[in-house]
Amino acid sequence: MYVTASSEPVEYDFGPMPEMRTSADAALIRARGLTKRFGDFTAVDGIDFAVAKGESFGFLGPNGAGKTSTMRMIGCVSPVSDGELEVLGRDPRLDGPRIRSRIGVVPQQDTLDTELTVRENLVIYGRYFGMSRAECRRRADELLDFIQLSERANDPVEPLSGGMKRRLTIARALINEPDLLLLDEPTTGLDPQARHLLWDRLYRLKQRGVTLVLTTHYMDEAEQLCDRLVVMDKAKIVAEGSPRALIERYSTKEVTELRFPAGVQETLDGKLDGLAERMELLPDRVLLYADDGEAAVAAAHQRGLRPETVLVRRSTLEDVFLRLTGRSLIE
C-alpha cells in the first residue's frame, strides 16, 4: 500500500471551483451572524464580515476575543453553532473536505512532525492533498527556497529556531497552492528579527495575489500586513476598516505621551482637562489625543506641568483599540 501509492492518480478531483466573479464584491469568505458556542460559553457572538479575493484581511483583538474560534470555523474544522458562513462559495457544513482542499492553514501552534525531516514534513503534507510524489517533491523544494530553508532540508525539525519552524509551517500551508491562506497569530512568540523576515515572506505572497486572512494581537503586524481589518473584543466585532481609516475615525493624528514622576499622576486632578480632544490615563502614563502634539506639550508646560518624559507620536491601531474598548491589546 505504501510502496505503490506513488502511481495513484491525483484525487480530490471535485471539479472546478465556482467561477470567481471579477467584480469588487466577489467574496472568498462571507459570514452573517456567525456564532460559536462551547456549552454556555459564547466564543463568537453573531459576527458579520466578508473577505474579497486578493485581499489581506485581519482580525485584531486581545487573547480570548474569539479570533481563533472564527479561524477554525473558516478552516472547516470547527462546526458553526449558528449563523451563516460561506467559504470559497461553499458551505463548510456540507463541503468541508472540498473547501479544505483549496485553503492553507497556519495554526497558532506549530503542528510539525518532529519524527520527520524538514523536507519530509512538506512532502507528506502534499500527499494529504492527493498530490503525486513527484509533484510534492518539486513543490517542497520550491517552497524551501521561498522560505530560505533549503540548506536545512534534510535536518530534523526539532533543532530549528522558532522563526524557522514558523516559516516551515507557512511553507507547508502553501504546498497545495491555496486560494486562501489562514494565519492564526503568525508571529506570536518570535523575536523582532524573525518577525520581520516572516512579514517579508507574507508580503511577497500578498503581492502575488494570495488572499491572506490573519489574526493578531500586534497592532504593528496588522498595520504592516492588512488591507482591511476588523477589531474584535469579547466575541464581537467592534469596528471595521483599513488601518488608516480606523485611525482617522477613532483617533487623532498625533498622540502625546506624558510620564510623570512616581505618585504625581494621581495628584493631577483636573489640571490636564482641555489640553486635548481626549485623554487616557494609563497606570504608567497619560495619553493626550490632539492633532498637534507639540501644541499640547506647550500648553501643558504653560500650566506648569513638569512631566519626566514627553513623547509625541503618530496614532496607531493600539490607540483605536484603547478608544473602542478602554483596554490595551496586550494585557
Partner 1 sequence: MTVMTRVVELRAMQYRRTFRASIFSSFLNPVLFLLAMGVGLGTYVDRSETATQALGGLSYLQFLAPGLLAATTMQAAAFESMFPIMAGLTWQKVFHAMYATPITPRDIVAGNLVWIAIRLTTIAAIFTIVMTLFGAAASPLIVLAIPAAVLTGLAFATPIAAFAATQRTPDKFNSIFRFGITPLFLFSGTFFPISNLPAAIQPIAWLSPLWHGVELARALALGTIGQAPGLALVHVAVLATIFLAGSWWAFRTFAARLARG
Q: Is 281 in the site for partner 1 (CB under 8 A)?
A: no
CB closer to partner 1 out of 56 and 169: 169
For residue 261, the minimal CB distance to partner 1 (Å) is 47
Of the candidate spans 94-102, 185-193, 251-259, 311-319, the one that interacts with partner 1 by CB under 8 A turns out to be 94-102
Measuring CA to CA, which residue among 161, 212, 227, 234 is closest to residue 29? 212
CA 128 vs. chain centroid, Å, equals: 25
Binding status of residue 176 toward partner 1 by CB under 8 A: yes
Which residues does residue 59 pair with via DSSP β-bridges, in sequence order?
215, 230
CA–CA gap between residue 316 and residue 324 (Å, rounded) = 13
What is the Cα–Cα distance from 187 to 82, expressed in whole angstroms? 30
Least separation in angstroms between CB 119 and partner 1 = 12
Closest CA to 87 of 69, 73, 68, 66: 73
Piece in contact with partner 1 (CB under 8 A), picked from 106-114, 138-146, 192-200, 302-310: 106-114
CB-based contact 299:275 (threshold 8 Å): yes
Interacting stretch for partner 1, rule CB under 8 A, among 109-117, 191-199, 281-289, 313-321? Answer: 109-117
Measure the CA–CA gap between 33 and 318, rounded to whole angstroms: 26
Size of the site for partner 1 (CB under 8 A): 37
Query: Are residues 165 and 157 in contact, defined by beta-carbon separation less than 8 angstroms?
Result: yes
How far apart are alpha carbons 72 and 184 in whole angstroms? 9
The sign of the dihedral angle between the CA atoms of 257, 261, 265, 267 is: negative
Return the bridge partners of 117, or none.
Answer: 156
Helix (H, G, I), strand (E, B) or coil at 224: helix
**Which residues ranging from 72 to 91 are in contact with partner 1 (CB under 8 A)?**
72, 75, 77-79
The piece of 96-104, 203-211, 240-248, 323-331 that touches partner 1 (CB under 8 A) is 96-104
Q: Find the part of the chain contacting partner 1 (CB under 8 A) among 23-31, 104-112, 259-267, 272-280.
A: 104-112
| Binding flag, residue 57, partner 1 (CB under 8 A) | no
Which CB contacts under 8 angstroms, 24+ apart, belong to 158-167? 158/114, 160/118, 161/194, 162/189, 162/190, 162/191, 162/194, 163/190, 163/191, 163/193, 163/194, 163/195, 163/197, 163/198, 165/110, 165/112, 166/106, 166/110, 166/190, 166/194, 166/198, 167/197, 167/198, 167/201
Q: Which of 10, 11, 33, 249 binds partner 1 (CB under 8 A)?
A: 11
Q: How far is the CB of 106 from partner 1 (least distance, A)?
A: 9
Which 241-260 positions form the footprint of partner 1 (CB under 8 A)? none
125 binds partner 1 (CB under 8 A): yes
Residue 97 is a binding residue for partner 1 (CB under 8 A):
yes
Q: Which stretch binds partner 1 (CB under 8 A): 170-178, 214-222, 255-263, 298-306?
A: 170-178
Binder of partner 1 out of 63, 111, 148, 242 (CB under 8 A): 111
Which of 100, 165, 167, 201 touches partner 1 by CB under 8 A?
100
Is residue 1 at the binding interface for partner 1, with CB under 8 A as the rule?
yes
* Shortest distance in whole angstroms from residue 205 CB to partner 1: 18
113 sits near partner 1 (criterion: CB under 8 A)? yes
CA distance 250 to 264: 29
Three cell numbers written together for 320: 483605536
| Interacting residues with partner 1 (CB under 8 A) | 1-2, 5, 8, 11-12, 68, 72, 75, 77-79, 96-98, 100-101, 103, 105, 107, 109, 111-116, 120, 124-125, 127-130, 172-173, 176
